[in-house]
Structure 1
Amino acid sequence: MELFFAHPEEIQQNVLSEEESRHAVKVLRKQVGDEVYITDGKGNVFVARIIEIRKKHCKLQVFERKQFPESKHKIIIAIAPPKNSNRWDFFLEKSVELGVSTIIPIKTQRSERKNINIERAEKVLISAVKQSHNYFKPKIYSLISMKEIPEYLPQNFQSVVGYCGDEFSKTKLSEISIQSRNIVCFVGPEGDFTPDEVQFLIRQIQSVPVTISKNRLRTETAGITFAAQMNLLISLHEK
């Protein structure tokens, strides 16, 4: 099933965006009368029929809506984006596939990246939603400082921070017990968090330092591993 994406306001207006319309008509050769499947990234899939093809958009007639349940647990990844854009895009793509609900890019003392392109990130996330058929698009924020982190977290959550140093006692991620529906995972830059940053997360966020692998992982790999292992822990918790 070929899946298209439309923002809620586009669904209300019964249209596909110019980009999605171009893909439907020019690439997939869709014609008037053809059925299309559309998601809004909020758990809804709409079945529609193309009733008019215009220069900049396709006009639709939506005749069915399917609503999919959201996971009871939310995985939130707060991560220092890697400098390499391809690695960052790879992390974003896999975050969608693994059901991450929120991505919070953070700027740390050792961060190599000082800004991110939100528009590009949104396009990567939307593309991954369409490819993976995960009907929930993660929310992504602009780059924030460590001190701003508490403002972006839900009221109730548990938190873990991946750390390679020996200054703090650490727990294996596989031994963490799921105690909240909101799970925040902190991933540092290539040079890792500084001890002061980990101390801040422990004191201000009540983060638990963890090890996620016996090997040293790249930032994007650590973020993906966090998401995958948290999914496993959640599934075991729900049994």
Structure 2
Amino acid sequence: MPLFFQENIQPPEIHLEPEESKHLIRVLRKKTGDSVDLTDGNGNLYHCRIQDANPKRTSLLVIDVEKTQEDNFRIHLAIAPTKSPDRMEWMVEKITEIGFHEIYLMKSQNSERTYLKTDRLEKKIISACKQSKQYFKPKVHSDISFSDLIKDPAFSGFQKFIAYVDENHQNHLLDVAKPTRDYLILIGPEGDFDPDEIKLAISNGFEPVSLGKSRLRTETAGLAAVHMLQILNR
């Protein structure tokens, strides 16, 4: 059954927003009395029945609610946005399908793009959550500087990594990451991190890691890092 999304749900009655209503009634041709599954992005799965099949504002009655258990680890990805927004949107869609928790769009010295609108990223995340049956919607944080991020006390207790290109890397991410932890991993721009940034991160408790022998594009590195940490915890 297709999954629908709506925030700020207050049972027992839900009024779907126009875009979701139109898809439900016009595209899927659902009718009054049909069953619908809905999530609010906070781990809740609502089993509903259509009360009023209105393509502009469908009314649903909540029949049952399931609460999804949260992961016992958290993946936070901090990444310098690519010059092409399309590549970031592709990455965000894929890591949502794989599973991550929060993303920070980070400004570093060699950043190709200093600002990225998050509207389309949010839409990609919601679409990917619906497609892959993810009931927790990942969070997006934008316009964060490298220096502020690495000194943020909110990451105290996290395993913190900085991935960059270095043929002398001794530690692969999968060798040093430990399961059931909270992680923050930094991924730099196409020009990589500035050497001073790497030194600053290490002095603030970040561990340098490799993601493999190949030289990866920024969005590929982000995808690879999330996938590795999911494998470690599965």
TM-score range, shorter chain: over 0.9
Alpha-carbon contact 1:156-1:180 (below 8 Å) kept: no
Deviation at residue 12 of structure 1 after TM alignment: 7.0
Q: 1:211 to 1:109 in 2, by over 3 A?
A: same
Tell me what 2:98 maps to: 98
Distance change >3 Å, CA 34–CA 179, structure 1 → 2: closer
Give me the TM-score of the superposition, normalised by structure 2. 0.93
> In 1, Cα distance between the equivalents of 2:105 and 2:12?
31
CA distance in 1 between counterparts of 2:216 and 2:10 reads: 41
Quick one: distance in 2 between partners of 1:34 and 1:152? 49
User: Which deviates more from structure 2 when the two are superposed, residues 50-59 or residues 85-94?
Assistant: 50-59
Say if 2:108 and 2:193, in contact at 8 Å, map to a contact too. yes
Measured in 1, the distance between the counterparts of 2:54 and 2:179 equals: 52
Deviations 1:1-42 (A, max 9, x none): 211001024667611111111111111111111110001112
CA distance in 2, matches of 1:62, 1:41: 16
Cα 1:199/1:123, change in 2 over 3 Å:
same
The residue that corresponds to 2:51 in the other structure is 51
Going from structure 1 to structure 2, the CA distance change for 1:23 and 1:11 (only over 3 Å counts) comes to: farther
Residue 122 of structure 2 corresponds to 122
1:65-80 to 2 correspondences below 5 Å = 65-80=65-80
Secondary structure, counterpart of 1:186 in structure 2: strand
RMSD: 1.9
Distance 2:80 2:42 in 1: 26
- Alignment map for 1:132-151 (pairs within 5 Å): 132-149=132-149, 150-151=151-152
Separation (CA, whole Å) in 2 of partners of 1:152 and 1:22: 44
Give, as a single letter, the amino acid of the residue that structure 1 aligns with 2:158: F
Paired AA for residue 154 in structure 1:
F
Ranges in structure 1 where 5+ consecutive residues have no aligned partner: none
DSSP 3-state at the match of 1:66: strand
Q: Residue 14 of structure 1: SS of its match in structure 2?
A: strand
Q: CA deviation at 1:232?
A: 1.9
Report the Cα distance in structure 1 between the residues aligned to 2:57 and 2:10, rounded to whole angstroms.
10
TM-score normalised according to structure 1 size? 0.91
Which one-letter code corresponds to 2:197 in the other structure?
A: E
Stretch of structure 1 that moved more, 13-22 or 148-157: 148-157
* Cα distance change of structure 1 residues 177 and 118 upon mapping to structure 2, 3 Å threshold: closer
What residue in structure 1 maps to residue 175 of structure 2? 175
